[in-house]
Amino acid sequence: MANKIPDLRGYVCLVTGASRGIGRGIAIGLGECGATVYITARTLKPKSEDNQGVSGSLEETAEEVTARGGVAIPVAVDHSDDSQVANLFTRIRREQKGRLDILVNNVYAGGDALAEHYKQQRSYWELGSDESPGVLWDSVNRRPGLIFNISSFGGLQHLFTVVYGVGKCAIDRMTADMAVELKERNKSVVVMSIWPGFVRTEQMKRLAGETEVTGLDINTHSESPELTGRVIAVIAKESRKDLMARSGRTFIVADVANNFGIRDIDGRTPVSFRSYKMILHMEGRERLAALVPASLKAPYPLLKPASPRF
């Protein structure tokens, strides 16, 4: 079944951390729906690669967004600098007459999350918290809309490193608490956490041979960065009632995609990490996994025992 692309013409969006990875994919996903997308990162112009061997720039993302039918506005921003963030929102208010429909809080400065945390320098621990919550509050004060915080399964149980898990757990808790306070202040603001699956980002492609990192083969058990963008676009077109019911909650990209019949860019149906098939793959039980349908999933209540919080 082909994807029915939502019409986001006239929507004004902001995607932070969009020079590469999931942020780039989200910007492209919104762009193919006709949205105007402000994209931010520190790297504006193309260069060979960064110190981790990964390339990507805002101009390259903007070119792809435009090719897909969207309007891209690249803005170089260091989100650790509050003044640059303030200037960004001043610009959006001026250029869009105060309108901002969708904010995707994706900016992340965690460095190489796959390195052993006890070998990382102190600066790594500080960088991991650079999710710029000030960006969110500024936009909310100016214009009601949708806020998507990009988080991860690492917020539920250990994944990669201590710093990674703490950061994702904090994002999910921030989302829940923001929903409570935003409801008191302005009932038209919706905030939710989004959990992509195993995503084929530039970083993951570089480390594709290191299957011990996740226990999965990147070629067969992963999602494209664009899938998250497509899911966000579909959610954005839901009714006000349905959107308000989502506020403060966490949603798995593959689950939402399955519910709406969204396929990935290669035509495949994404498999949720709630799927017993995926769980078996992660445990290396390939033969048994081949016999289990991807639609058979662990109920959400069963996820709670996986968390050390309970």
2 within some domain: no
**What is the helix (H) or strand (E) element at residue 164, kind and residue range?**
helix 162-185
Q: 82-93: b or e for each residue (b if 16 or more CB lie within 10 Å)?
A: eeebeebbeebb
280 within some domain: yes
Instruction: Read off the pTM.
Output: 0.82
245 within some domain: yes
1 within some domain: no
Closest CA to 197 of 217, 220, 223: 223
User: Are β-strands 36-41 and 12-16 bridged in parallel, bridged antiparallel, or unpaired?
Assistant: parallel
3 within some domain: no
CATH of the domain at 261: 3.40.50.720
Predicted local confidence at residue 163, as pLDDT: 84
Indicate which residues carry an active-site annotation.
Answer: 164
Do 182 and 142 belong together in one domain? yes
Do 33 and 114 belong together in one domain? yes
Do 103 and 224 belong together in one domain? yes
7 within some domain: no
Q: What value does the mean pLDDT take over residues 26-50?
A: 91
Predicted local confidence at residue 230, as pLDDT: 96
CA 298/CA 268 separation, integer angstroms: 21
Given a contact cutoff of 8 angstroms between Cβ atoms, the answer to whether 205 and 180 are in contact is no
Do 254 and 106 belong together in one domain? yes
CA 294/CA 69 separation, integer angstroms: 33
Do 180 and 223 belong together in one domain? yes
**Per-residue pLDDT band at 143 (split at 50, 70, 90):** very low
Do 141 and 280 belong together in one domain? no
19 within some domain: yes
Do 106 and 171 belong together in one domain? yes
- Domain count for the chain: 2
Do 154 and 285 belong together in one domain? no
Do 155 and 107 belong together in one domain? yes
- Domain of 129? 12-271
Output the CA torsion sign for 35, 38, 44, 47.
negative
Do 158 and 297 belong together in one domain? no
Do 258 and 279 belong together in one domain? no
The residue that leads in pLDDT, 109 or 108, is 108
Query: How many beta carbons lie within 10 A of that of residue 185, not counting itself?
Result: 10
112 pLDDT exceeds 60? no
**Per-residue pLDDT band at 140 (split at 50, 70, 90):** very low
Do 211 and 288 belong together in one domain? no
